[in-house]
């Protein structure tokens, strides 16, 4: 058996095994939901577990109806593609399919009962489907956590050959390596213009030749996916010919645009005159979307202040009594539209911290190697109480007052110091298009452990793709990051 056939079978094998596991758990979940609701709602009494039609004729037992719903539900899950290799493991498509078709099945079932004039208990129907949908989502989420761990180990992933210029190969390899749980593992690259048999490396990726070497690379390396990531030396006709060279049904062929960090809801594909056009909606920073975000900030912050008033008072007393100086630390930061404001924190440093800053910038053991952000793992200016406050981000609580006043939001880019802004590259100023936040993408993706480049990349991704739903997800991730107490100094 050739290596190409073996790799294809291996890929198909893990996909089939994973799909079979989903079939088993989907079946168990649906049975649990439907039969469970039947037993709870109707009990085990045989007489109560039957129904009549509106004419008074004897009907079938609820067990028969439950079996029919289970069979229909499993059929719908199978044919709608929720177990397909292109939707499992990442993104919202898998969840959206389960929710959408679960609700449709509820309407279809209710319509069947109505037209057949079956006097079925409404509570039985109205409870079984929502509970089943929620249980399916929970089951799939658990499988995703397992799959994520496996993919971080290099298993259950597509083995990718990148095709493009050295610059695009390096860029795409780096971006895919950031998220191994997406299921794309780069094993080599073919660069247009390179001689056959070339062996070099760029950005940690092995280059094994030119475009003509792609079929050979797939066979010898056991790869199963080709990703064309852009090159001026790769005309459209050559891309088509490359796709024709791949064995039908054995390999995946992916064409990636030279545009990254774009959220899924902003992307729409539309074939026009044989051209696969990708429409990217430009981000908007005004209108109802912004007003909704502000309303959410005001309501949520008011509730949080009411709940946290007593703990904040206790923290204030501890800060005041354990070290000389004020309770609050006010610092000028740059916010929306590059306007300055005073950000509030519980004081976590010595009173003369600002005076000691210049000496630490020159002689301190910095984590940022003299970059834009000043970071030290063991900052001598931090008090003992301040170290605990920072670890669990309790020093940030007074910023809820900033949110209530409108200078900050619950979620947004980090508000920088004016001296940091003076070092920004031009594109980084896009951070000021939205209101800065107490928490944001970079805070839940590593906090102070992130490099400056990663912090900027995540903040700009948020600016380009923010939504209220995304804010809720970030707030949830923030709670988990704070509870762990890692990554903040």
**Phi (first) and psi of residue 285, to 5 degrees:** -120, 20
Q: Specify the range with the lowest mean pLDDT, choosing from 208-217, 219-228, 304-313, 367-376.
A: 367-376
Check whether residue 80 and residue 58 sit in a common domain: yes
Check whether residue 112 and residue 239 sit in a common domain: no
Residues 191-204 have pLDDT tens digits of: 888 877 667 777 77
Check whether residue 75 and residue 120 sit in a common domain: yes
* pLDDT in the model for residue 213: 87
Q: What is the mean pLDDT of residues 334-340?
A: 91
* pLDDT in the model for residue 7: 47
Check whether residue 377 and residue 301 sit in a common domain: yes
Check whether residue 115 and residue 189 sit in a common domain: no
Check whether residue 127 and residue 173 sit in a common domain: no
272 domain residue, yes or no: no
Query: How many CB atoms sit inside 10 A of residue 311's CB?
Result: 11
314 domain residue, yes or no: yes
Phi-psi region at 204: left, alpha or beta (left = phi > 0; alpha = psi -120 to 50): left
Q: What is the mean pLDDT of residues 161-177?
A: 86
Q: What is the mean pLDDT of residues 43-48?
A: 55
Check whether residue 22 and residue 124 sit in a common domain: yes
Beta strands 409-411; 437-439: pairing state: parallel
CA distance 470 to 370: 33
Beta strands 158-163; 225-228: pairing state: parallel
Q: What sign has the CA pseudo-torsion 302, 308, 313, 317?
A: negative
Using 50, 70 and 90 to split pLDDT, how confident is the model at 369?
very low
211 domain residue, yes or no: yes
Per-residue CA distances from 456 to 160, 199, 266, 464 (Å): 28, 34, 20, 12
Which tops the pLDDT comparison, 367 or 224? Answer: 224
* pLDDT in the model for residue 179: 82
- Name 318's Cβ contacts closer than 8 Å, sequence gap at least 6: 385
Structure tokens at 331: 């610092």
Question: How much is the mean pLDDT over the chain?
Answer: 81
pLDDT tops 80 at residue 239: yes
Q: What is the mean pLDDT of residues 347-376?
A: 60
Contact 209, 194 (CB under 8 A): yes
pLDDT tops 90 at residue 342: yes
Check whether residue 125 and residue 171 sit in a common domain: no
Using 50, 70 and 90 to split pLDDT, how confident is the model at 340?
very high
Contact 341, 441 (CB under 8 A): no
* pLDDT in the model for residue 264: 59
Which tops the pLDDT comparison, 349 or 342? Answer: 342
365 domain residue, yes or no: yes
Check whether residue 146 and residue 244 sit in a common domain: no
Q: What is the mean pLDDT of residues 73-83?
A: 91
Which tops the pLDDT comparison, 260 or 222? Answer: 222
Please tell me the total count of domains within the chain: 3
Domain boundary among 135, 152, 169: 152
pLDDT tops 90 at residue 382: no
274 domain residue, yes or no: no
Q: What is the mean pLDDT of residues 30-48?
A: 78
CA distance 51 to 53: 7
CA distance 412 to 432: 10
Domain boundary among 134, 152, 170: 152
Q: What is the mean pLDDT of residues 228-256?
A: 79
Q: What is the mean pLDDT of residues 455-470?
A: 83
CA distance 455 to 470: 17
Check whether residue 348 and residue 418 sit in a common domain: yes
Of the chain, the percentage scoring pLDDT greater than 70 comes to 79
Q: What sign has the CA pseudo-torsion 366, 368, 373, 376?
A: negative
pLDDT tops 90 at residue 393: no
DSSP-assigned letter for residue 283? P
Residue where the block lists tokens 């390596």: 177
- 3-state helix, strand, coil split of the chain in percent (to 5) is 55, 15, 30
Check whether residue 255 and residue 341 sit in a common domain: no
Using 50, 70 and 90 to split pLDDT, how confident is the model at 488?
low
Q: What is the mean pLDDT of residues 149-154?
A: 87
Domain boundary among 152, 170, 199: 152
pLDDT tops 50 at residue 19: yes
Q: What sign has the CA pseudo-torsion 414, 418, 421, 423?
A: negative
pTM across the whole model: 0.65
Residue where the block lists tokens 């004897």: 58
Domain of 378, in residue numbers: 288-484
Beta strands 58-61; 158-163: pairing state: unpaired
CA distance 464 to 434: 10
pLDDT tops 90 at residue 324: no
pLDDT tops 50 at residue 1: no
267 domain residue, yes or no: no
Which tops the pLDDT comparison, 175 or 399? Answer: 399
Element (H, E) at 277: strand 275-280
Using 50, 70 and 90 to split pLDDT, how confident is the model at 376?
low
* pLDDT in the model for residue 375: 56
* pLDDT in the model for residue 301: 95
Check whether residue 292 and residue 375 sit in a common domain: yes
279 domain residue, yes or no: no
303 domain residue, yes or no: yes
């Amino acid at each position: 058996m050739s290596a190409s056939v073996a790799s294809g079978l291996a890929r198909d094998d893990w996909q089939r095994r994973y799909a079979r596991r989903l079939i088993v758990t989907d079946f168990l979940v649906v049975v649990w939901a439907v039969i469970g609701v039947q037993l709870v709602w109707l009990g085990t009494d045989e007489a109560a577990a039957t129904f009549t039609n509106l004419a008074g004729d004897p009907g079938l037992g609820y067990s028969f109806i439950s079996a029919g719903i289970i069979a229909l539900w499993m059929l719908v899950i199978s044919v709608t593609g929720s177990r397909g290799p292109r939707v499992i493991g990442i993104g919202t498509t898998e969840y959206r399919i389960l929710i959408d078709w679960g609700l449709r099945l509820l309407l279809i079932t209710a319509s069947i009962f109505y037209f057949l004039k079956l006097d079925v208990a409404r509570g039985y129907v109205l409870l079984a489907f929502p509970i089943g949908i929620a249980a399916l989502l929970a089951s799939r989420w658990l499988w995703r956590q397992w799959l994520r761990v496996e993919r971080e180990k290099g298993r259950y992933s597509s083995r990718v050959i990148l095709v493009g210029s050295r610059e695009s190969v390096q860029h795409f390899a780096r971006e895919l390596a950031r998220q191994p749980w997406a299921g794309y593992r780069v094993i080599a690259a073919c660069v247009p213009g390179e001689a056959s048999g070339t062996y070099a490396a760029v950005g940690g990726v092995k280059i094994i030749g030119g475009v003509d070497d792609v079929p050979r690379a797939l066979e010898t390396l056991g790869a199963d996916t080709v990703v064309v990531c852009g090159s001026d030396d790769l005309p459209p006709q050559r891309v088509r010919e490359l796709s024709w060279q791949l064995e039908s049904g054995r390999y995946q062929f992916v064409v990636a645009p030279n545009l990254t960090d774009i959220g899924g809801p902003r992307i729409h594909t539309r074939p026009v005159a044989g051209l696969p056009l990708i429409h990217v909606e430009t981000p908007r920073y005004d209108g109802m979307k912004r007003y909704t975000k502000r309303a959410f900030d005001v309501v949520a912050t008011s509730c949080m202040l009411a709940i946290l008033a007593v703990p904040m008072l206790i923290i204030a007393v501890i800060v005041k009594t354990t070290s000389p100086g004020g309770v609050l630390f006010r610092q000028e930061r740059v916010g929306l539209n590059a306007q300055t404001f005073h950000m509030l924190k519980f004081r976590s440093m010595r009173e003369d911290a600002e005076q000691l800053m210049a000496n630490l910038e020159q002689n301190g053991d910095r984590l940022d190697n003299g970059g834009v952000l000043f970071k030290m793992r063991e900052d001598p200016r931090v008090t003992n109480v301040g170290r605990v406050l920072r670890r669990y981000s309790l020093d940030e609580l007074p910023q809820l007052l900033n949110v209530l006043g409108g200078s900050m939001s619950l979620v947004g880019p980090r508000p920088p110091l004016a001296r940091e802004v003076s070092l920004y590259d031009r594109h980084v100023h896009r951070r000021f298009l939205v209101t800065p936040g107490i928490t944001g993408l970079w805070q839940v993706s590593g906090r102070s452990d992130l490099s400056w480049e990663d912090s900027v990349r995540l903040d700009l991704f948020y600016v380009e793709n923010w939504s209220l739903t995304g804010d809720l997800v970030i707030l949830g991730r923030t709670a988990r990051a704070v509870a762990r107490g890692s990554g903040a100094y």
